[in-house]
Amino acid sequence: MWHGVLCGLLAGAMWGMVFITPVFLSAFTPLEMACGRYIAYGLIAAALMGSRLPPLLRRLDRNDIIAMVKHALAGNIIYYMLLALGVKLAGVAATSLIIGVLPISVTLMGHKDHGSVPLKQLMLPLLLVAAGIACINVDVFTHDVGNGMPFNAKLLGVLCATGALVCWTWYSVDNARYLKRNPHFSSGEWSSLYGISSGLIALVISLAAFAIFHSDVTGAAAVASGRDWGVFWIVNALLALGASVIGNHLWNVASRKVPLTLSGQLILFETLFALLYGFIYKQQLPRSLEIAAVVLLIAGVMWSVRVHALEDPTEAHAD
């Protein structure tokens, strides 16, 4: 079991990088960061499949392609754009803590698929989560966590983080349902197809955006802003390899090694590492409201997952 816990911790350490990358690449737009990351992910996924890819592609039908497009947009590209914008406007702490509600949101949306838990049994843990989110919002709007952003920009950042949470919640539940309806794809095959489809969609979006906003990318203003494209591609390749490929693999190992009642709680490592990276990058300690939000969210999520697991354990997400 401890081997599984270690793998879950390492997966969280990889996923936590997702929240600090928008700060590190602050000269680039969320659209550029999302396209860069998933183009790199698609190339790596295709390379890892190698000769197994052509026969796998021949097995796809129209419904598979539609599902892959929807999942790639909601679970990867749009999700990461909203997350990156949330980080830019509201800060790493607020965004990571809002995304940290995923175990509860996935459970609430998909609970009918695997054994209903009466909402009254989740009332107390949900109240803890609500209190944690309240602490996040109070901290966001009373401190300069948005890098000098005005109130409206900070509010938009919180809404973007919430939108990212909604996107990934929908993707997680819909993807699980689709795999159950289509057992002819293994988890590994579908994961590779998911990465490749994300890369192709990101490539199309980036080419269209480049054609429309060519001067904004290559003009004098863009050059003067210090946008280092070499660093951009190195960071995104490392993020694709670390968070998308290695992180997901570690999570699959953890899911097999630990009891299902524990696997849902291991996702909290992602939030904790995201906060840790953010505080290290800013070279500051968490404020009292941030500490309170961390404690309340961890308590609420762990309590909710445990209550639900007593009825029917759930699978946690892969980023």
pLDDT digits (tens, 9 = 90+) for 80-131: 999 999 988 888 888 888 888 887 787 677 666 555 566 677 778 878 888 8
Q: How many domains does the chain fold into?
A: 1
Percent of the chain, pLDDT > 90?
23
Residue with tokens 């602050």: 26
| Amino acid type, 104 | I
Query: Which of 160, 172, 162 has its CA nearest to residue 103?
Result: 172
Give the chain's largest Cα–Cα span. Answer: 60
Please give the Cα distance from 266 to 31 (Å, whole number): 30
Residue 139 lies in a domain: no
- Does residue 287 belong to any structural domain of this protein? yes
199 belongs to a structural domain: no
For the segment 34-71, what is each residue's pLDDT rounded down to a tens digit?
999 999 999 999 999 989 899 989 998 899 999 999 99
> Could you tell me which of 306, 250, 172, 293 has the C-alpha nearest to residue 16?
250
**272 lies in a domain?**
yes
Q: What are phi and psi of 204, to 5 degrees?
A: -60, -45
Domain that holds residue 292: 1-22+248-318
CA distance between the termini of the chain: 22
Report the chain's mean pLDDT, rounded to a whole number. 81
Q: Do 61 and 221 touch, CB atoms closer than 8 A? A: no
Q: Is residue 151 part of a domain?
A: no
pTM for the predicted model, two decimal places: 0.80
pLDDT, average across residues 275-281: 86
Query: What secondary structure, in 3-state letters, does 210-237 show?
Result: HHHCHHHHHCHHHHHCCCCHHHHHHHHH
